[in-house]
Amino acid sequence: QLQASGGGLVQAGGSLRLSCAASGRTFSRYAMGWFRQAPGKEREFVAAITWSGSMTYYEDSVRGRFTISRDNAKNTVYLQMDSLKPEDTALYYCAAREYSGGYLYRTVGDYDYWGQGTQVTVSS
């Protein structure tokens, strides 16, 4: 089970830190990802991290502004979002893939478990 939190309303240029807490003893083996979905649009990839945290990958529009990280001791993955833009406004979801093989995953269908989403709204 995944529980996302940390969303809110922020002005353009501001920052937010999303958290995704996972239950279960095998979290450290899961590849994790963040996705987002704006109204009327499909869910899109934002960032991914391997089970060890040694590799990360970002969607082009957030690279350099967002940072994904994880703390396996706390069963939590984070998404630090800086220099936010109005186009970042969306419902943000965390996702987990159980058998990851040390790889990064970037599509919705690659993931086994999803959190409930946390709303991020960036005002101009």
25 DSSP assignment? T
The residue among 43, 4, 46 whose CA lies nearest residue 22 is 4
Angle at 54 between CA 1 and CA 29, to 5 degrees: 35
pLDDT along the chain (124 residues), means of 10: 96 98 84 96 97 96 98 95 98 92 92 95 96
Instruction: Give strand ranges (E) for 54-89.
Output: 56-58, 66-71, 76-81
Give the separation between CA 92 and CA 90, rounded to whole angstroms: 6
| Nearby residues of 24 by Cβ (< 8 Å), 6 or more positions away | 1, 75
| Confidence (pLDDT) at 28 | 82
Pair of tokens at residue 10: 């922020």
What's the confidence (pLDDT) of residue 36?
98
